[in-house]
């Protein structure tokens, strides 16, 4: 039986601790970074500015919250 081990990592970009599967930095293609920074780098690469990135991340977090909240 596999042990469900939760590994806490610290993102080298924003310093946030996270337990989700890491994204890989586009800077060097090997550094694990938090999913939020992974999304930011992806958005930057398609020309989305910082302000718009935060709005998109906010929307992503809200939609994820909906799935993790207990149903009444
Ligand atoms: Zn980060």
pLDDT in tens, 14-58: 999 999 899 999 999 999 999 999 999 999 999 999 999 999 999
CA 70 – ligand 1 centroid, Å: 27
Q: What residues have their beta carbon closer than 5 A to ion ligand 1?
A: 11, 13-14, 34, 37
Distance from the alpha carbon of residue 72 to the mean position of ligand 1, in angstroms: 32
Q: Who's near 42: CB < 8 A, 6+ residues apart?
A: 26
| CA neighbor of 31 nearest in space, from 49, 8, 9 | 9
The residue among 7, 63, 64 whose CA lies nearest residue 32 is 7
Confidence of residue 69 (pLDDT cuts 50, 70, 90): low
Give yes or no for residue 1 having a pLDDT over 70: no
Return all residues near 7 (Cβ < 8 A) that are at least 6 apart: 19
């Amino acid at each position: 039986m596999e042990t469900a081990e939760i590994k806490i990592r610290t993102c080298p970009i924003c310093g946030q601790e996270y337990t989700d599967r890491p994204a890989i930095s586009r800077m060097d293609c090997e550094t694990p970074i938090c999913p939020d920074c992974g999304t930011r780098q992806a958005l930057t690469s398609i020309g989305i500015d910082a302000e718009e990135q935060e709005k998109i991340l906010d929307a992503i977090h809200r939609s994820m919250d909906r799935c993790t909240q207990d149903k009444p």
